[in-house]
Structure 1
Amino acid sequence: LAWDWSIDGHNLLLCHSYRTQQQLYTFNLQTQTLTKLNHPPGVYERSIGPFGTFAHFLPNNNIVALWQSGTQSSQLIELDRRTGEKMHTIVGPETAVSARPWQSITYTSSDGTLIQGWLAVPGGTGPFPTILNMHGGPHYQKRSIFDPDVQAWLDHGFAFLSINFRGSTGFGDAFKSQIWGNLGHWELEDMVAARDWLVENEIAQTNAIFLSGASYGGYLTLWGLARRPDLWAGGLAVVAIADWVANYEDATDAMKGAFRMWHGGSPAEVRERYVNSSPATYLESISAPLLVIQGHNDTRTTPRQMEQFEAGMKASGKQIEVLWFDAGHGEVSAAETIAFHEKQIELALDILKRH
């Protein structure tokens, strides 16, 4: 992607993203020379300045970028125009944060497809209790960003793997659209294969692997518990979808359009697909404890369908707790964010004590 022109019009700033990892280049239009920049590894974000631009050239042709990595929180940095090396931090945290790094890993799913993920492990020797995390979207990707929530899990002795399952962006259109018409199928195959990889590589304790995720990742958390209840110690879902039909009925028109694309039609046209892909359909199979954090005013992952799911779980004697907040799709205060994350860690530790 072309991100910017230099002030003199002679150079382009380019970004190549491959399997979630970014590489910046400059291209000189006069000499037709492409230069690979030796910049710090990590994520170069949007949203510098009032118009939300990408990394761009300064008047002196150096590059200004909003950057972060697994061990460095977001900061505005200046890169040398010739080499890409970091010159200095323009705006950043006052104190350095002690954090453990991400490692990019790959594993093979059930059909031979290569799946990429980001792994972080605590100090000490494994296997560890482990969080298997699925991002939202589904058409999104997990990158090597600084994540305080992940660092908190590591501080409590958990390994953490976030996977770019089928449906993620950055791996080609076929990879992204393979889930359409059968939501949950290929994603679950990739989740199960990730679990196998974690166990085979002695990273995860077999009986201490928890599912977690928000939005579509919250849906996959419920889905995994319902469809493969034998594999997981518990589930930690945020703004999740349990019932695709009820969620469609209460969603905004924009979201209904997305749901029709993913399922291949509306519930009136392909109701069976919506029902077959809903965790609520398989509620009786769920055996692991589940914590859900949900918004009363959410128009993407709507409240009514979660209220019905919670009632059904409790009527069936399942262990579920739903924490409600008075906002939309995950828009909570810093205090609520901390409290909710503490609750997730407390539940996971309590489950481990019982095993």
Structure 2
Amino acid sequence: MDEDLLEALASLPTFHHATVSPDGNEVAVYYDETGRNELHVVDVATGERTRWSDGEVPRNARWHVEWGADGDRVFFHLDDDGNEQNDVYAIARDGSVEPVVQLDGQTVLQDVGEDGETLLVGSTASGQMQLYRHDCATGETTQLTEYDRAVGAGVLSPDCERIAYATNETDTFENTDTYVADADGSNQRNLEIGETGAEVGPVDWGPDGDRLLVTDNTADLGRCGVYDLSTDEVTWYGGEFDEDAESFLPGGDRFLAVRTRECAKEVVVYDARTGAATTLDLPSGVASLGRAGSAVVDEERIVCSHTTPDRRPELLCYDLATDETEQLIAADYGDLDPDRFVDAEYFTFDSAGVAEFDDRAGQGVESDPASREIEALLYDSGERPSPAIVNPHGGPRGQDTRGFDLYTQFLCSQGYSVLKVNYRGSTGRGREFAQAIYDDWGGNEQADIATGTTILAEKEWVDDDRIAVFGGSYGGYSAYCQMTMYPELYDAGVAWIGVTDLRDLYENTMPHYRTELLEKNVGSPEENPALYDERSPITHAENLAAPLLVLHGVNDRRVPVSQARLFRDRLDELGYEAGEDGDYEYVELGEEGHASTDVDQKIRTFRTLADFLERRL
């Protein structure tokens, strides 16, 4: 293990959550060039960067930031050591910080009103995730919604007199509808966009408050729509590729969207009148507009990040009229040679799911009748013969893309080639593909990953006696599944913040994860008791046949640390030996929750991962 290289990679400066100020002159962004995450503000005209914070913002840059309407302060989320039980704080230009919204449970800033007084937040203070209105002048916070299901995607109208949001009141659990209500939560109206069972969400109000930009997957692939509130008519755009609407441009005649195809993402500008679409002129990779806040500088300029598999992210100001860019934050490689990073090979393969594996087909796992085309990315480290890591993504509503991934490049730097599989259930391929995992966790999607592993092992340059699986979150669940359901394929495994016991997860995760993840995907334990048992890796722990590293943050509230502890205890009951020379190794990460962007915490994780793989693989 090259300790210097490990630390150099983990310490590469990284930015997160860039958002443009109301006047378009500045960009607020998390950046860790000092070795710690801090809030910085970039002058769009000059590129000059000013640091506002000095340790007041969280170490982990998971949650987004948003400007106040006056442009003199920035709102951010603050929790306790990664437990995601956020409160909302504000930081001013002089570095002074004050709490703004403090509620029990998890609080998430949804929108900032243009009136300078109103915040729209989501919170689990009452149990389920609901919307609340916060009055900055009085400090009062008022609950606006009260649904059985979680409420999200909240956006304020320009005059702050109305709100739009998404939830579900139907008996079709996978359904999501878009609603409009008065600002006090009254006069709630389901706009009834799309068919029942589809997922429809609001994205942005038109500048005059008479239209809503929405995303919908009624037609399978995600599409963008503009809903006219005066006529209740919607105009649809796109349809050839999976797309997500992002925001209107200032005049309201154009809007931004992000298109996904073949694991790449590109920003699209739609003319709302003609439907004409123009993509940004950037190399194939991942272009993105940020998770929240605004990407719009003015009518012709936006701020976006861009990256490729072997090139780190850079923050750009893009001129839509000329296709010219100005670099606001350059990709930083420190003392490392940029050419050392590995590009990804995109390929597809057919998977028949568990039908490929007779032993799994006989364990209560029904085969998906359709063979699926599965997208994958392969990173060749150049080592010969090459040990390899299969690295399933989290989610499961997620996707591995052609963007720079630090963990992948870290593994490649240690000589391991890396395979990423966008199994059924992944995003970017439409609603039917994403929902193919419903009522089937631990089933056919795990067979997709296993099929990818067999293809990898057949490559003549891969050392098929040195293949490991490593994943985090749902990828950690997949690592546990692969090691206990397909043990013959792997020589080692690393399960990071992963799920082991679905029943325990149902009891102990946050309320909106219980309904919108577990119940939506696999029902409840009462509805599907056999599924909850059969698809829990802890049920199959006795099949573990290769060294396993169990890695978990102690403050994780999405996937509580009880998941790791239960699996450890089960291994002990079965007679497995713990320790560096044993059957498994167990590490809890203090002061950390569901992963972290913090430099020191990344170094700790990299060191633990590298040490285990070096000894065991």
Task: Tell me if TM exceeds 0.5.
Answer: yes
For the pair 1:132 / 2:390, whether they are aligned, the reply is yes
Contact conserved, 2:270 with 2:276, CA < 8 A, in 1? Answer: yes
Matches within 5 A, 1:168-247: 168-247=426-505
Q: What is the aligned partner in structure 2 of residue 281 from structure 1?
A: 539
Give the counterpart of 1:108 among 350, 358, 361.
350
Which runs of no fewer than 5 residues in structure 1 stay unpaired?
none
User: Structure 1 residue 45 and structure 2 residue 292: aligned?
Assistant: no
Query: Across the two proteins, how many residue pairs are aligned to each other?
Result: 345
| 1:1-355 alignment, distance < 5 Å | 1-7=244-250, 11-28=254-271, 33-47=276-290, 52-54=293-295, 56=296, 58-59=297-298, 61-82=300-321, 84=323, 86-95=324-333, 97-98=338-339, 99-111=341-353, 112-124=371-383, 126-257=384-515, 258-264=517-523, 266-315=524-573, 316-318=575-577, 319-326=583-590, 327-331=592-596, 333-352=598-617
The letter for the 1-side match of 2:584 is I
Could you tell me which amino acid in structure 2 is paired with residue 346 of structure 1?
D
Aligned residues: CA RMSD: 2.4
- Residues in 2 aligned to 1:145 and 1:222: alpha-carbon distance in whole angstroms: 26
Q: Is the 8 A contact 1:127 1:205 kept in 2?
A: yes
In 2, Cα distance between the equivalents of 1:32 and 1:190? 37
Q: Secondary structure at the match of 2:425?
A: coil
Query: Which of the two has greater strand per residue?
Result: 2
Instruction: Tell me the alpha carbon deviations over residues 204-255 of structure 1, each in whole angstroms, 9 at most, x when there is no partner.
Output: 3212111111011101101111011111011111101111112222222222
Deviation at 1:277, TM superposition (A): 0.3
Q: Secondary structure of 1:178's partner? A: helix
Amino acid at match of 1:110: A
Question: How many Å apart are 1:35 and its aligned residue?
Answer: 3.3
The letter for the 2-side match of 1:305 is Q
Contact 1:167–1:175 (Cα < 8 Å) also in 2: yes
CA gap 1:210/1:4 in 2 versus in 1, 3 angstroms: same
**Residues 28/171 of structure 1: CA separation in 2 closer, same or farther (3 Å cut):** closer
Question: Which stretch has the larger CA shift, 147-156 or 275-284?
Answer: 147-156
The worse-fitting range, judged by mean Cα deviation, of 234-243 and 34-43 is 34-43
Once the two structures are superposed, what CA deviation does each residue of 1:110-132 show, in whole Å capped at 9, x if it has no partner? 253111122211135x4411110
Q: Tell me whether 238-247 or 7-16 shows the greater mean CA deviation.
A: 7-16
| Corresponding residue SS for 1:225 | helix
Structure 2 letter corresponding to 1:81? L
How far apart are residue 90 of structure 1 and its match? 1.7
List per-residue Cα deviations over 1:299-351 (Å, max 9, x = no partner): 22122232121022133225111211233222474223212222212222212
TM (normalized to structure 2)? Answer: 0.52
User: Separation in 2 of the partners of 1:5 and 1:301?
Assistant: 36
Letter in 2 for 1:109: S
Q: Check the 8 A contact 1:251/1:302 in 2, yes or no.
A: yes
Q: Is the CA contact (8 Å cut-off) linking 2:266 and 2:280 kept in structure 1?
A: yes
**Percent of aligned positions with the same letter in both sequences?**
26
Please give the secondary structure, in 2, of the residue aligned with 1:183: coil
Is the contact made by 2:550 and 2:586 (CA closer than 8 Å) also made in structure 1? yes
**Following the alignment from structure 1 to structure 2, what is the Cα–Cα distance between the partners of residues 246 and 30?**
51
Query: Does structure 1 conserve the Cα–Cα contact (< 8 Å) formed by 2:379 and 2:417?
Result: yes
Q: Distance in 2 between matches of 1:304 and 1:6?
A: 46
For residue 432 of structure 2, give the secondary structure of its aligned residue in structure 1.
Answer: helix
Distance, in Å, in 1 between the alignment partners of 2:271 and 2:322 is 14
1:62-91 deviation per Cα after TM superposition (whole angstroms, max 9, x unaligned): 44312222222222113342464x533122
CA distance in 1, matches of 2:330, 2:430: 34
Q: 1:137 to 1:157 in 2, by over 3 A?
A: same
Against the structure 1 CA distance between its residues 106 and 80, is the aligned structure 2 distance closer, same or farther, given a 3 Å change threshold?
Answer: same
Letter in 2 for 1:52: G
Letter in 2 for 1:90: L
Q: Distance in 1 between matches of 2:248 and 2:530?
A: 50
